[in-house]
Amino acid sequence: MALFDLPLPELERYVPELDVPADLDEFWSSTLADARTHDLDVRRTPYDARLRLVDVEDLEFSGFGGHRVRAWVTRPAGSASDGRALPAVVEFLGYGGGRGRPQERLAWAAAGYVHVLMDTRGQGSAWGTGGDTPDPAGSGPAVPGFMTRGILDPAEHYYRRLVTDAVRAVEAARALPGVDPARVAVAGISQGGGLALAVGGLVDGLVAVMPDVPFLCHFPRALAITDRDPYGEVVRYLAVHRDHEEQVLRTLSYLDAVHLARRATAPAFFSVALRDMTCPPSTVYAAYHHYGTLGGAEPAKRIEVYPYNDHEGGQAVQVEAQLRWLGDLLA
């Protein structure tokens, strides 16, 4: 894949104007207040993953609408009861994937963190080894996938439910024994990176935000320069529903991770791939440059650039970089 977006020097200066809804804060504060009327009801069940150095728990908590959300918790063996209060990393998954099996993601637990991997409601059948969380809510006419579910009303959109689940996942992580609630970070790749950014703007007191080639960013730009899925789902919807563009863009403006990330206060470590047609570089840089700009002092942030990669980004190289960066930050 050749370079297709702005040249890197222009990306480094790319700070687009945003069309932020005037009632964005009210929309999300009321959404989260409604979610919190349901008891978080954190339930932990030990899971025998045949791992000697890592303890595994099957976690459940109440997300949007009180719907039950699943997650895996992995941690250094014995750390839940030995008096230590460990930092935690809450991770969100890429589009179409589910939490899979706990043996698949052990880096954070092996590095001494409590790792909470949130399942993604309704997803888990496009790649990986499956998911376990249904999405009980419906929507109007939609293109196959998740992007256009409830696309004409932000209150009905799929990502309102999923972002709320992600906020509640942090609350569940902070309630776990052996977790230091003041040292909780969020992370994710692609869709998971977009969720990490959204949570970074909606949850106070996070220690770090690590969005890796994030999706859900700067929708107007993404729809203009790529038709690769998942953004392509919206393009195909509008190709049929030609008179819905204004409503669609209005709905997405409430869910745009760039709009929410402006509220963030935690240090952030981004990554971007310059040949990424799934999450175009300019959309990532829009999130990066607007990140944390609403507060008084802008938080520390950095971005790792992968010039020759498509949406796979840095993969294990980026995970190692995150381990080093977060370790140094906490030290």
* Per-residue pLDDT reduced to its tens digit, 151-210: 999 999 999 999 999 999 999 999 999 999 999 999 999 999 999 999 999 999 999 999
- Domain of residue 180: give its range: 8-330
29 within some domain? yes
Percent of the chain with pLDDT over 70: 100
130 within some domain? yes
- Which of the following is catalytic: 276, 282, 289, 290? 276
C-beta of residue 59 within 8 angstroms of C-beta of residue 73? yes
- Which of the following is catalytic: 67, 218, 259, 311? 311
C-beta of residue 253 within 8 angstroms of C-beta of residue 19? yes
CATH number where 295 lies = 3.40.50.1820
Per residue in 48-67, pLDDT (tens digit) is 999 999 999 999 999 999 99
3 within some domain? no
| Structure tokens belonging to residue 204 | 């106070």
Give the long-range contacts of residues 1-10, CB within 8 A, separation 24 or more: 1/275, 1/277, 1/310, 2/275, 3/274, 3/275, 4/225, 4/275, 4/277, 4/280, 5/225, 5/274, 5/280, 5/281, 5/282, 6/281, 6/282, 8/274, 8/305, 8/307
The yes-or-no answer on residue 289 being catalytic is no
The yes-or-no answer on residue 276 being catalytic is yes
129 within some domain? yes
17 within some domain? yes
Task: For residue 142, name the pLDDT band (cuts at 50, 70, 90).
Answer: confident
The yes-or-no answer on residue 311 being catalytic is yes
- pLDDT value of residue 252: 98
Count the domains in the chain.
Answer: 1
pTM of the shown model: 0.97
2 within some domain? no
1 within some domain? no
Burial (0-12, 13-18, 19+ Cβ within 10 Å), 127: middle
| Structure tokens belonging to residue 223 | 């729809």
217 within some domain? yes
- Which of the following is catalytic: 5, 119, 135, 190? 190
- pLDDT value of residue 140: 78
Q: What value does the mean pLDDT take over residues 6-11? A: 98
**pLDDT higher than 80, residue 139:** no
